[in-house]
Amino acid sequence: MASLPILLARLGNRPGVFVLGDFGLRGVGRFSYLGLKPVEQVVFEQNGEGDPFEILNRELEKYQLDASQDLPAPFTGGWVGYLSYDLGSYIERLPDSVDHDIRLPLMYFGFYDAIAAWDNQEKCGYLLALEYPGQAESPEGRLTRLRAICRVGDQPKIDEQNTDEHQSASLQYIAHLVRQMEVGIEHQAYLDKVIRAIEYIKAGDIFEVNISQRFACDYQENSSVLYEYLARHNPAGYAALIVGADHAVVSVSPELFLLRRGGRIITRPIKGTAPRGANEQEDQVNRDWLEHSDKDRSELNMIIDLERNDLGRICRYGTVKVLAEREIEEHPTVLHTVATIAGELWDNTSISDILRATFPGGSITGAPKIRSMEIIDELEPTARSVYTGSIGWIGINGDMDLNIAIRTIILSGRKAYAQVGGAIVADSDPQAEFDETLAKAAAMVRALWATGK
């Protein structure tokens, strides 16, 4: 099976294409998936009517597969797409004073009845097609089209230079690039918003809240070029490319929102960040600092409690467990601390039930969740759109993998939008919080400049 750069070169910017993972480019995550064109879509536009989660649920019920079958990959076909952060207002009554200036749908999923899957562990690929009543094309025909795209041979030369996973970049350099972009919140204004958030915490409104800022620039390049660059230079376990008719979403998220396998559900919130060092010695210093940071530990502990509560609404009593309380993960530009929480779902729990109980993820809102989202609406000037929503797949057997859409770039209207944030707690330092957002933005800003500026 062809590698990711070759596949993307053949696909270009074709509407309907999706990629999840990196097809062995850097080997991050076990399975990667690719699809060409959905046979149908479910789209919920901004200001749409009805319940988007029930609309999605009805579409999911059209195609179902016995989950007991032995399958070569967790995802063998089904729905792929995204949920915008702003769907939270369809779960809870929330204010809406922000500018919805990116006109993407709030929900966008396509049904794919033929996909390519790559297993990084076994170093092998599969071409998979579903057979079902009313199909418009035979499985053989769909597999033939996939085979033509995925064939090995006539491969363009791939530039393998500068692919080190650990790419340190000074905050000064990233700040220099950011100053050449459109900023949604000026530097001092961001510091003031952090101070306001701390005031809310000290007043007892909340324990922590995620405050973000957005950068934008003109961008004319193909979305697949941007995705391939990020997948090569900033590999992440929950990377994604979703190409719509008039927009694209490119994500190199390291964070799992929800993984469902049968009756078991897992979430892995990230809280706590330190920049990578310029060398191994600096890296170890930063790792030690993060490991012993009481502030970052408390951030994660609060979100663990929130996620346990969310999962407890849909899981059997006594089954929600913290499997890993605090682990440090290395990423190309940052270090993160991550927890793992799991539970056993009640019988007949639907995808709509799960999303209503958990969406959006607590790691990118704050605690308590609803009050934090109210404060986010007050302090952030623009709607988040896909950023801090979720991207991934929902299979026809009910299983799913959904990420938290951080490290995510939205391409719309010949512009690129990159947004980054961090958790504010009582002892947050405003300038340190600003610097943390720059560290998180580093890979995306570098990619935009390298491919399109």
Catalytic residue among 193, 271, 369, 440: 271
Active site residue 255: yes
Catalytic residue among 255, 344, 374, 433: 255
Per-residue HEC secondary structure of the chain comes to CCCHHHHHHHHCCCCCCEEECCCCCCCCCCEEEEECCCCEEEEECCCCCCCHHHHHHHHHCCCCCCCCCCCCCCCCCEEEEEECHHHHHHCCCCCCCCECCCCCCCEEEEEECEEEEEECCCCEEEEEECCCCCCCCCHHHHHHHHHHHHCCCCCCCCCCCCCCCCCCCCHHHHHHHHCCCEECCCHHHHHHHHHHHHHHHHCCCCCEEEEEEEEEEECCCCHHHHHHHHHHHCCCCEEEEEECCCEEEEEEECCEEEEEECCEEEEECEEEEEECCCCHHHHHHHHHHHHCCHHHHHHHHHHHHHHHHHHHCCECCCCCEEEEEEEEEECCCEEEEEEEEEEEECCCCCHHHHHHHHCCCHHHCEECHHHHHHHHHHHCCECCCCCCCEEEEEECCCCEEEECCCCEEEEECCEEEEEEEEEECCCCCHHHHHHHHHHHHHHHHHHHHHHHC
C-alpha distance from residue 173 to each of 72, 131, 223, 379, 448 (Å): 45, 52, 24, 27, 14
- Measured in degrees and rounded to the nearest 5, phi and psi for residue 306 equal -65, -45
Q: Annotated active-site positions, please?
A: 255, 271
